[in-house]
Structure 1
C-alpha cells in the first residue's frame, strides 16, 4: 500500500546539514513536490536562497529552480523569471508543465520588449528563447514560431520557419497577412517582405500575384516591370497573369508608381489616346502596348463607366422629395444638400437626368452655390476622361460663353479635377494655365482641380506654382492651394515642402489658409508611420489649435489602418483634454482611420466618448464609427449611432445620419433589418418640419451616400490584398471638411469604389460568361423603389371638389345635377383606385407564394457586393478565371475552347449630355430634353403609367 506524503518538513530540515549530498538529495525531493507543498517551502526560502547564492555549492542551479517554482506559485513572476535564468539548463523548455509554459511566455514577452527597445539581451534569456524555437520546429508548430519571430524581429528565424515548414506557399501567405495586420514598424515590415519575395521566387511555380503585391509595399517598380515583361514573353496563361497583375497594380498603386513602371516598358512610340481595340492582337510589341494601356487605367476606367451607366438603379422619388423640401425652406443649405446628394447618388454613372429635368430649379443657384452645382457634374461624370472638356465646355473659362461667371467657370475647373482624380496627365497643363489667371475665384477651382488631377505625383513644378499663388495671401485662393499642395505631394514626406508649408502657416493670419496647410501637411505624411512622428509631435504641441487640428489628421494618415496603440493613445488623450472643440472632434474622428482595418474594435473604443457631455466629441464618435465600420453593417456601431440620432444637438444628429449611411452602404434588409428602417428614418427626418436644419442636411447627405454610384458603389479603405485605398482615405478626409466649406462634400466621389466582377479575355474584350451566386437573390438585391403617396393626392381632389361646390352653391352658379356628376366621378375614381390597389396586393401575394431560388446565375458584367464574394462559384464550362479565389474587380479569363467563336457582351456608351447655363443642352450626343430623359436601358423596368386625371377650365 502506497504511503501518502503529508509534509516535506524532514527534507527542509536536511537543507541545514553540512553534507553536500544530503542537501542535494533534499533539493531533489523538494523540487519534485514543490507544486503541492510550495506553501510549506515558503518558510525556508531564505535558506534556499543562501544555497542558490553560494558559489561553492555545486547544486546552486537546482536551488534556483526550486526558488523559481515557489515564486511562480506566489505570483511573483519577476523573481520567478530571475531564478529560472539562474537555474541554467535545468529550466527545460520542452517540459509541458503549467509552470514552464507560463514562465516561458513571460520570457518571450521580455525578449520581445528588449528586442524592440534595442536593449542588451541576457545570454541566458537568448538561450531559453532559442530553445523555445527549437521546440516549435520539433513539434511542427511553424506558424507559432513565425508569429513569435515576427514579434521578436528575428529575420533569421522568420526565414527558417517558412523554408523548413514543408508548406512554403501557405506559410508565405500567412506571413504576408501578419505583415499587414500586426507589424507596426514600417522599416521592419519592408525587411520581412524582402525575405518573402526572395522565398517566393525560389518556388518552382512562383505566385507572381502575391509577389507583386509585396513589391508594391517595397516600392520596387523595376522588379515588377521585369516580372511583367518576362510573363508576356511566355505562353497564354502567363500573358493572362501579366494582364491580371497590371489590373491589380492600377487598383492598388499611386499615379507616380504606375508612371514609373510605364517608363520602364520598352515602348517604341507613345500610345496616348490609343483605343485597345485598335491594337494588333499578336506580337510582343502589341502585348507591351496593352500592358501600358492597362497601367494607364484606360481600360479599368472605361469598364467602371460602362458598368455604372448600365446598372444605375436610383430611386428618383427620393431626389424629388429632397427637391421639394429645398423649395419649402429658405436658404441655400437644402438646395446645396440636394445637389450633393444627387451627385453622390449618380457618381460615375454619367446620368444627369435629374439636373436636366429641373433646369429652372438649377438656375436658381448663385455665386458659390453655382460653383458647387457645376462641380457636381465632375462627380457624376467621374472617369469620363476622354470627353471631359466637351462635357464642361459651356462652363470652362474660354472668354466666349454668354452669361459666364467666375463661380461657374471655377466650378468647371474643380469638376475637371474630380473627373480626372488620380489620372490627370492629360489635363494638368490646362489647369496650370488657368491657375495663372489673376482671379482668386478661378484660382480656387483651378487649384482644387490640379490637386485632384496630379494627386500623389510628387511634381515639384506644380508645387512651386501653387506656392506662388499661396504667397499672395488671399484667403479664397490660398485655401485651395494649401490643400492642393498636399494632394500633389501626397505620401512623399518631402522635408523641404513640409518646412515651407509649416513656416507659412505660422506667418499668415488667415484661418482658412492655416487649416488648409494643416490638412496639406497631413496628406504629405500619408503611410509614413514612424517617419511622421517628428512632425506629429511638432503639430500636436503647437499653440495654434488649427495646426493641432492638422496634427490629428497627420497622425491618422501616417498610421491609417495600422491599429497602432501609441497613435490611439495620443488621439484619446487629446480627445478628452484639448481646449479646442475642433481639435477634440478631429481627434475622435481620426480614431476611425487608425482602426479602419479592425472595425470590430471601434465601437468599444468610442462607446464612452459617444456619451460625452461635449457635442463635438459625440460628433467625432459618430464619424469614427462611420469610417472604420464602413460597409460592414456592424450591429454594435449601429446601436450607438441610433442613440445619437436622438441627440439634442443638430450637428450630432447630422453626423449620426451620415455615419449610419456609411455603415449600411450596399446592405439589404435581408442581411440586416436596420437597412430598411434607417432609410425610413432618413425620409422622416427630411420631411419633418420640426427637425433641426443641420440634422436634415445630414439626412439628405446620408441618402446620397447609402445609394452612392447608382447603388453599385461601396466605401472600402483597404483592398482585399491589404493595401490602403488612397483615393478613399483622401476622399473621406476631405469630405469631412464640409464642416468649414460645403464644396468639399464633392470629395466623397473619390471614396466610392464600384463593386463588380467583370471578366475579360486575352484580347481584353468582355465575353459572354456566367458564374453562380450560391445564395438567395434577395440577399444582395437592390432595395425596392419607393412609391409616391397617392392617398394625399386623392384627399386634395376631394377637398377641391367640396370647396368648388361650396363656392358655386353660394353664388348659385352650378345646378345640383352638376354637383351630382362631380361627386359620381370622384366615387368612380375612388373605386377604380381601390380595385387597382387590391389587384396589386393579389399579385404581390402570388409572388410571395413562389419559393425563392437558393442560387442565382450572374452574367458578365455582374454587380457583386463584397459580402457576396463568399458565395461566388465560377462554374462556366468555357471560361476559367486566372485567379483562384473570387475577388472584386477585373478578372482575366482563360478560354478552354479557343477554337470556337466567341460571343462578346454588347457595350453601351455613357451619355455625355449636360445642361447648359442658358437652359439649353450641350454635349457630343445632344438631343432634345424629352428624348434624352426618356432613355432607358434594356435591363431597366418600364415606367408606370401616370395616374388618371381630368382637366377642367
Structure 2
C-alpha cells in the first residue's frame, strides 16, 4: 500500500505518533514513516525511523526497501567505526547508536546462517569488527580456505597500515591454532608485522620437532620476501639464542647449546664417507641445521642457484646489439647500447659483446665511461664470490690512480653486483668512500654503498653518507641523497627525515636537491598513512623540487596499494600545480600506486 500510495500519506502524523512515548504502536509508526521517507528519497530520515522500528524492521526481508536501508545502515556504521578508529587515542570516541549496531549484528548473523562467509568477512573488515572477523572464520567448514582468502584481501585491499597489522595479528593467531599450523603463512604475516624474533622462534620450534624441510622452505621464502635488516635480525637470533636439542636415541640430554658461527666443519661431516649417524654428538645436529638455515637466509644458496640458472639459460641475441651499434653513431645512442647490453645479459656473467668491441667501447668518455663500467655490475649481478677480482681493473688503487669516472663506475658496479645482499662488501665500500678524494669516485661509492646496504638502516653507513652530503659538493651530494634513501628504505626514521628535509631546504645545489627528493620518498616506502604528515609538509613547500618529492613520497608510501585517497591527491596536483615537473611526477606516481591493479586502471 505504502509503495503505491505513499504520496497520500502524511508522514508528519506518523512522526508525531512515534515521538509520543505513550503511544503503544510507536515501532509501527516508525516503520511507516521510514517507508514513506524511503519513497520520497530521504534515505537518512528513512534510516533513522527504521532504527526506531526495532524488530518490525526485518533484515531477512528481500524487498528493495530493506536492502537499501541495510546498505545505508552499513555505510553509516562503517563511517562511524572508521572515524573512531582513526582518532588519536587521547580524543573521545563518537558514540554509536546501539540500534544501528544491532541491525549490523543481525546482518552478520544472516550471512553466517546463509553460509555467506566471504561477504561476512568483507563487511567485518570494512566495519573494523575483528571479533566478527575471527568468529566468521572459526564457524566455517573451510577454515584454511577462508584464512587464505582473508590474507589475500588483507595484503591487497587494506588501505590502513595500523588496522592491517591488527588483522595480521589475528591471522597469525588463527594460523597457529590450526590442527596443523601453517607456518609458511604465519611467517609471511610476521614479515609485514616486522617481528623477526617470532620468526626465529618458529624456526627453532621446527628444528626441535625435526621438521627440517619446512624450516628450510620458510628460510627460502624469507629471503625472497624480507628486507636485509629483517633477515639480519633473524640470523643474529639463530646465532645467539640457544637451540633446543632434538631427542637422540639413548640420550637424556634436554638442555640447550649456543649456536656457533664457524660451523663449516660441522656441515662437512655429514657428507664424509663412512660416517655413522650414531657417531654424531647430540649437539652437532642442531648446529648443522642452524648453519644451513643461516646459509639460506643469508641468500648465498638462492643467489648461487639463480646465477647458475641465468648462465645456463642465456639466450641473448648478440646480432641485435651489433646491428644497433652499427646503426647509431652519436654518444647518446652509444650509452644506450651499452645499457641495453647490460639489461640483456643481466646476471649471466657474459661480457662477450664488450670484449669483442673494445675499440668501440673505448669511445666512451667522462660520465659515459662511468656508465659503461657500472654496466658490468648488472651483467655480473649475483657473481659475488669473485666480484673484487672481476672488477679489480676498475677499482681505486693506492699505487697508480686511474680514471675517476672508471673508478667511480667500478664502485657503483660492486653495489649493483651485491644489491640488497651487501655482506662483507659493505665494509669495503665504506672504506673506499672514506678514503676517496675525487667527487666522481665518491659519487660511485655512495651509490654502490646505498645499493649494497639497501634497507639495512645501518647507523655507520648512514653517518658516512650524511657527512658526504654535508660537504655541499653537487656531484657527491646528489648520490649521497639517493643513497641515504636506499639505506633507510622503509624505515620511517624521524632523524633521517629531519636531516634530509632540513638540508634540502638549506642547500643551493639543485643536483643535491634532486637526489634528496627521491631519497626522502624512499624512507617512507610502504608506510601508507604514517607518511601523511610528511607528504602534507612537502606538498606545501614553495620549492617545486620539494613538492615533487612530496609526489614521490605519496608513490613510495602507498606503492601498489591502490589507495583512493592517495590517487585523489595526485590527480588534483596533476592538474593544479604551476610547475610542469611536479605535475609530471604526480602522473608518474599514479602508475606506482596502481601497478598491481592492471584490470581496474
Runs of 4+ residues deviating >4 angstroms: 274-279
1:415 corresponding residue in structure 2? 413
Contact 2:528 2:558 in 1 (8 A): yes
Q: Say which of 282, 285, 288 aligns to 2:287.
A: 285
Aligned residue for 2:141, secondary structure, equals: coil
Q: CA deviation at 1:519?
A: 0.9
2:311 corresponding residue in structure 1? 309
| Matched ranges for 1:312-331 at <5 A | 312-327=314-329, 330=330
> Gaps spanning 5+ residues in structure 2: where?
85-93, 240-257, 272-276, 278-284
Residue 247 of structure 1 pairs with residue 220 of structure 2: yes
2:280 corresponding residue in structure 1? none
Contact 2:377 2:413 in 1 (8 A): yes
Q: CA deviation at 1:277?
A: 7.8
1:415-443 residue CA offsets vs partner (Å, 9 max, x unmatched): 00000001112111111111122211110
1:391 corresponding residue in structure 2? 390
1:544-564 residue CA offsets vs partner (Å, 9 max, x unmatched): 011111111111110111111
**TM-score after normalising by structure 1:** 0.58
1:203 corresponding residue in structure 2? 178
Residue 80 of structure 1 pairs with residue 37 of structure 2: no
1:601-652 residue CA offsets vs partner (Å, 9 max, x unmatched): 22xxxxxxxxxxxxxxxxxxxxxxxxxxxxxxxxxxxxxxxxxxxxxxxxxx
Contact 1:271 1:293 in 2 (8 A): no
Q: CA deviation at 1:172?
A: 1.0
Residue 54 of structure 1 pairs with residue 17 of structure 2: no
Distance in 2, matches of 1:202 and 1:495, equals 37
Distance in 1, matches of 2:420 and 2:487, equals 10
Aligned residue for 1:398, secondary structure, equals: coil
Contact 1:146 1:175 in 2 (8 A): yes
> Gaps spanning 5+ residues in structure 1: where?
1-32, 603-953
Aligned residue for 1:265, secondary structure, equals: helix
2:194 corresponding residue in structure 1? 219
Q: Say which of 232, 240, 244 aligns to 2:207.
A: 232
1:78-124 residue CA offsets vs partner (Å, 9 max, x unmatched): 12111111212211212222211221111001100011111321121
Change (3 A) 1:148 1:275: farther
Q: Say which of 41, 65, 73 aligns to 1:107.
A: 73
- Structure whose residues are more often helix by fraction: 2
Residue 268 of structure 1 pairs with residue 280 of structure 2: no
Distance in 2, matches of 1:537 and 1:184, equals 18
2:298 corresponding residue in structure 1? 296
Aligned residue for 2:559, secondary structure, equals: coil
1:675-710 residue CA offsets vs partner (Å, 9 max, x unmatched): xxxxxxxxxxxxxxxxxxxxxxxxxxxxxxxxxxxx
Contact 1:52 1:60 in 2 (8 A): yes
Change (3 A) 1:271 1:540: farther
Distance in 1, matches of 2:262 and 2:317, equals 40
Contact 2:266 2:288 in 1 (8 A): no
Distance in 2, matches of 1:572 and 1:275, equals 60
**TM-score after normalising by structure 2:** 0.91
Residue 356 of structure 1 pairs with residue 359 of structure 2: no
Aligned residue for 2:456, secondary structure, equals: coil
Contact 2:260 2:287 in 1 (8 A): no
1:743-767 residue CA offsets vs partner (Å, 9 max, x unmatched): xxxxxxxxxxxxxxxxxxxxxxxxx
1:265-290 residue CA offsets vs partner (Å, 9 max, x unmatched): 14633259x69984736722211111
Please tell me the root mean square deviation across aligned C-alpha atoms, in Å.
1.7
Distance in 2, matches of 1:277 and 1:352, equals 35
Residue 154 of structure 1 pairs with residue 129 of structure 2: yes
1:844 corresponding residue in structure 2? none
1:722-759 residue CA offsets vs partner (Å, 9 max, x unmatched): xxxxxxxxxxxxxxxxxxxxxxxxxxxxxxxxxxxxxx
1:432-491 residue CA offsets vs partner (Å, 9 max, x unmatched): 111122211110010000000001001111111111111110000011000111111111
Aligned residue for 1:542, secondary structure, equals: coil
Residue 533 of structure 1 pairs with residue 535 of structure 2: no
1:129 corresponding residue in structure 2? 104
Distance in 2, matches of 1:430 and 1:216, equals 29
1:380-426 residue CA offsets vs partner (Å, 9 max, x unmatched): 00011111100100111113458x21110110000000000011121
Q: CA deviation at 1:246?
A: 0.5
Distance in 1, matches of 2:112 and 2:101, equals 17
1:323-376 residue CA offsets vs partner (Å, 9 max, x unmatched): 11233xx3x200100011001111111111100110110111111111111000
Contact 1:574 1:584 in 2 (8 A): yes
Aligned residue for 1:600, secondary structure, equals: coil
Residue 38 of structure 1 pairs with residue 6 of structure 2: yes
Distance in 1, matches of 2:140 and 2:189, equals 21
2:341 corresponding residue in structure 1? 342
Aligned residue for 1:423, secondary structure, equals: coil
Residue 164 of structure 1 pairs with residue 162 of structure 2: no
Contact 2:34 2:47 in 1 (8 A): yes
Q: How many residues align?
A: 561
| Matched ranges for 1:931-942 at <5 A | none
Q: CA deviation at 1:48?
A: 2.6
Structure (1 or 2) with the larger CA radius of gyration: 1
Aligned residue for 1:601, secondary structure, equals: coil
| Matched ranges for 1:373-452 at <5 A | 373-400=372-399, 404-436=402-434, 437-452=436-451
Q: CA deviation at 1:180?
A: 1.1
Distance in 2, matches of 1:429 and 1:435, equals 10
